[in-house]
């Protein structure tokens, strides 16, 4: 009987242009809750306010208090086997790009370098009021230290609360990241769709670009997705699949 993980491995290494699209599910193995899963963050009261731009403008301290545990304490989290195996696939030349909806920086921690963050990134926080993008900018570590101390980061020029470079509800996605993601999707003959429910647009439309261009998709997710019937291979357990891929990479 054909081993489906071996089949996936052979599909990846034989692809001409393999890319990945990841969602919050890839970080659950690192102890970070996903958003819409069975025990997702959005089942908590007021959780949808965390990334609401209007609510941030009203009370930015709510975001920094609520996001402290899963964004600003990321130093306590280790990259999972999914993150590290994707990093290894890239270093060996099998993975050309990684498109992520995630904002936890764990792909970078796992060794990935070609990361396209379509929902933005907390790597930089900036002032929305100074009008000069070079003013008030603070890096992630500086902000994280303040948040862990119970403070909110403020612009050193005008005193306004800094906003993370994450795309909040009510904001447009970063144009360059979205353009790069769509370009990679058009080039891909294989897209790995990992840990995402494919319900949030426009990210959910990215696999469709690959399919329309004649490529194939593989889905690994513990819940059904609207694209399951189009997948060449379908798995439910990210940990099992990527432990298997990691072992095949070690012996190959």
Whether the upstream peptide bond of residue 202 has omega within 30° of 0, thus cis, is: yes
Residue 157 φ/ψ, nearest 5 degrees: -95, -45
- Residues 6+ positions from 176 with CB-CB distance below 8 Å: none
Give the dihedral sign, CA 222/223/225/228: positive
16 noted as active-site residue: no
Q: How many angstroms separate the CA atoms of 87 and 82, rounded?
A: 9
- Residues 6+ positions from 238 with CB-CB distance below 8 Å: 25, 26, 28, 29, 82, 194, 195, 220, 221, 222
Count CB atoms within 10 A of the CB of residue 16. Answer: 10
Contact 153, 125 (CB under 8 A): yes
**Minimal CA–CA distance to 11: which of 240, 193, 216, 235?**
216
Please name the helix (run of DSSP H) or strand (run of DSSP E) that holds residue 211, with its range, or none.
Answer: helix 206-212
Helix (H, G, I), strand (E, B) or coil at 212: helix
User: Of these residues, 107, 119, 125, 216, which one is catalytic?
Assistant: 119
Q: How many angstroms separate the CA atoms of 35 and 196, rounded?
A: 10
> What are the residue numbers of the active site?
119
């Amino acid at each position: 009987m054909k081993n489906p993980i071996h089949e996936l491995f052979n599909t990846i290494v034989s692809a001409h242009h393999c890319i990945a699209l990841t969602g919050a599910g890839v970080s659950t193995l690192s102890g970070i809750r996903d958003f819409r899963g069975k025990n997702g963050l959005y089942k908590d009261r007021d959780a949808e306010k965390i990334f609401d731009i209007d609510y941030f403008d009203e009370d930015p301290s709510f975001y920094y208090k609520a996001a402290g545990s899963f964004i600003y304490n990321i130093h306590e989290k280790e990259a999972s086997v999914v993150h590290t195996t994707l990093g290894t696939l890239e270093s060996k030349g099998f993975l050309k790009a990684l498109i992520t909806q995630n904002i936890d920086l764990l792909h970078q921690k796992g060794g990935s370098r070609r990361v396209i963050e379509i929902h933005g990134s907390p790597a930089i926080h900036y002032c929305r009021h100074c009008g000069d993008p070079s003013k008030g900018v603070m890096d992630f570590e500086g902000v994280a230290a303040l948040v862990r101390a119970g403070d909110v980061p403020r612009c050193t020029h005008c005193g306004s609360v800094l906003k993370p470079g994450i795309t909040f509800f009510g904001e447009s996605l970063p144009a360059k990241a979205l353009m790069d993601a769509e370009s990679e999707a058009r080039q891909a003959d294989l897209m790995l769709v990992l840990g995402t429910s494919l319900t949030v647009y426009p990210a959910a439309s990215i696999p469709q670009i690959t399919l329309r261009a004649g490529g194939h998709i593989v889905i690994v997710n513990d819940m059904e997705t609207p694209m399951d019937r189009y997948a060449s291979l379908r798995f439910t357990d990210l940990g099992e699949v990527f432990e298997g891929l990691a072992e095949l990479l070690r012996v190959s």
